[in-house]
């Protein structure tokens, strides 16, 4: 089955700890995205990548880092510099054209303990 897979589904982070969220797609999509979802705020873009080995900051990139070494993978690291990381994180991918819709993974819920 083609799709986009996020893991883990739930993640707990201690104060001062870095954690990495996985996002893998087998749709052969060029573009990949990370969004953060908080209640009442909709989806806010963290990072996006239009092509392998290239990525751009979104609206709330501080405290996060990404890599795009392979077309199918776009992991997100939440660093200790992110002061309020508790949220629902969504990864998405799309083909390379503007008129293409994005496909979303099932999300990772990160909680600071």
Partner 1 sequence: AQSVAQPEDQVNVAEGNPLTVKCTYSVSGNPYLFWYVQYPNRGLQFLLKYITGDNLVKGSYGFEAEFNKSQTSFHLKKPSALVSDSALYFCAVRDPGGTYKYIFGTGTRLKVLA
* Torsion angle in degrees (nearest 10) through CA of 8, 12, 15, 20: 0
CA dihedral 10, 74, 26, 7 (to 10 degrees): -10
Cα–Cα distance measured from residue 99 to residue 15, given in angstroms and rounded to the nearest whole number: 41
Q: Beta 108-112 vs 10-13: how paired, if at all?
A: parallel
Residue 102's φ and ψ, nearest 5 degrees, are -90, 145
Choose one: 13-21, 66-74, 79-87, 105-113; the region binding partner 1 (CB under 8 A).
Answer: 105-113
CA distance linking residue 113 with residue 103, whole number of Å: 30
Q: Give least dist CB 80 to partner 1, A.
A: 26
In the region spanning residues 29 to 48, those forming contacts with partner 1, defined by CB under 8 A, are 31, 33, 35, 40-43, 45, 48
Radius of gyration of the chain (CA): 13
Q: Give least dist CB 16 to partner 1, A.
A: 27
Token digits for 78?
């939440």
52 interacts with partner 1 by CB under 8 A: no
Total chain residues near partner 1 (CB under 8 A): 27
> Taking contact as CB under 8 A, which single stretch among the options 13-21, 61-69, 70-78, 104-112 is the one that binds partner 1?
104-112
Answer for which of 27, 58, 61, 72 binds partner 1 (CB under 8 A) is 58
Chain residues binding partner 1 by CB under 8 A are 4, 6, 31, 33, 35, 40-43, 45, 48, 50, 56, 58, 88, 90, 92, 98-99, 101-107, 109
């Amino acid at each position: 089955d083609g799709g986009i897979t996020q893991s883990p589904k739930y993640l707990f982070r201690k104060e001062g700890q870095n954690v990495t969220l996985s996002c893998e797609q087998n749709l052969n999509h060029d573009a990949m995205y990370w969004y953060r979802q908080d209640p009442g705020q909709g989806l806010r873009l963290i990072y996006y990548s239009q092509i392998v080995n290239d990525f751009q900051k979104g609206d709330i990139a501080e405290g996060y880092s990404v890599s795009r070494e392979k077309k199918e993978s776009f992991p997100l690291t939440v660093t200790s510099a992110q002061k309020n990381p508790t949220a629902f994180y969504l990864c998405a991918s799309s083909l390379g054209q503007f008129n293409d819709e994005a496909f979303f993974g099932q999300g990772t819920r990160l909680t600071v303990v």
